[in-house]
């Protein structure tokens, strides 16, 4: 039994606007990508495949000697598929994890929780956390936004990574070549049941400058 983790890290980081792809931005002395990979390796994952922008492959491979680095695609799902192709050629895993580089502070326990749920029989597993804000559906009109409805937040979960799959479920999810913001979205579209396990607030995604400041403060506070 072995676990491989695929890390899409080829995003431009437009919303972070740090002047370089997000995974290569400094986070307290290491890049976001190095911290993400360290979290994966700390969770006893057997192999790691990382997708990065084409011009950063050599830099990433030098920075991450324990990982297999491939060229990512224009969309997240294409980057994941580049990782799947490399992983199927090189590794024979019973669980495949997919983890955003941008969730650099994800604790090892969350990886284990997802792997355990796949090994317990779920074909697709995602971490989710309850939504704490009140949520409104809105529509534009007259230069402003207007509330259409208040959404029942008790049935909603904010979804994180790592997301875990059996090799067969992941292949079926990506078979149609579709695009989604996460892999579970493709699994749902392929009719694969998706199980939710308890997520972790430390698995938040670094998307904006605010998130990066938060990540730096958390690392400073824990002295890592």
Residue 82 interacts with ligand C5P (CB under 6 A)?
no
Least distance (Å) from ligand C5P to the CB of residue 83?
9
| Alpha helix (H) residue ranges in the chain | 32-42, 57-63, 76-90, 108-119, 167-174, 183-189, 209-222
Considering only 5-13, 134-142, 150-158, 184-192, which stretch makes contact with ligand C5P by CB under 6 A? 5-13
What are the tokens at 42? 């700390």
- Which listed residue (4, 43, 51, 117) binds ligand C5P by CB under 6 A? 51
Least distance (Å) from ligand C5P to the CB of residue 74?
5
- Which listed residue (25, 63, 68, 76) binds ligand C5P by CB under 6 A? 76
Rg of the chain, C-alpha, whole Å: 18
How many residues line the site for ligand C5P (CB under 6 A)? 18
Residue 142: alpha-carbon gap to chain centroid: 38
Least distance (Å) from ligand C5P to the CB of residue 35?
12
Residue 38 interacts with ligand C5P (CB under 6 A)?
no
Contact 51, 83 (CB under 8 A): yes
Q: What mask, x for binding ligand C5P by CB under 6 A, covers residues 90 to 109? A: ----------xxx-------
Angle at the Cα of 156 from the Cα atoms of 153 and 161, rounded to 5 degrees: 140
Residue 49 interacts with ligand C5P (CB under 6 A)?
no
198/143 Cα distance (integer angstroms): 40
Give, in order, the Cα–Cα distances in Å from 178 to each of 61, 140, 167, 187, 188. Answer: 28, 29, 17, 10, 12
Considering only 38-46, 69-77, 114-122, 162-170, which stretch makes contact with ligand C5P by CB under 6 A? 69-77
User: For binding to ligand C5P (CB under 6 A), which residues are involved?
Assistant: 8-11, 22-23, 51, 72-76, 79, 100-102, 205, 207
């Amino acid at each position: 039994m072995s676990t491989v983790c695929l890390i899409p890290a080829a995003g431009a980081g437009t919303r972070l606007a740090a002047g370089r792809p997000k995974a290569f931005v400094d986070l307290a002395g290491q890049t976001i990508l190095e911290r993400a990979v360290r979290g994966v390796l700390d969770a006893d994952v057997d192999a790691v495949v990382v997708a990065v922008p084409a011009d950063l492959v050599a830099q990433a491979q030098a920075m991450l000697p324990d990982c297999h680095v491939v060229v990512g695609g224009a969309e997240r799902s294409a980057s994941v598929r580049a990782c799947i192709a490399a992983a199927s050629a090189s590794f024979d895993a019973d669980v495949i994890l997919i983890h955003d580089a941008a969730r650099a502070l994800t604790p090892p326990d969350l990886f284990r929780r997802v792997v355990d749920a796949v090994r317990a029989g779920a074909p697709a597993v995602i971490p989710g956390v309850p939504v704490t804000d009140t949520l409104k559906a809105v529509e534009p009109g007259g230069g402003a936004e207007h509330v259409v409805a208040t959404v029942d937040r008790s049935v909603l979960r904010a979804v994180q990574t790592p997301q875990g799959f059996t090799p067969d479920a992941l292949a079926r999810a990506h078979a149609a070549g579709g695009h989604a913001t996460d892999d579970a979205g493709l699994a749902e579209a392929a009719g694969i049941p998706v199980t939710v396990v308890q997520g972790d607030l430390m698995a938040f995604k670094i998307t904006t400058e605010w998130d990066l400041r938060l990540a730096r403060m958390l690392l400073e506070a824990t002295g890592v």
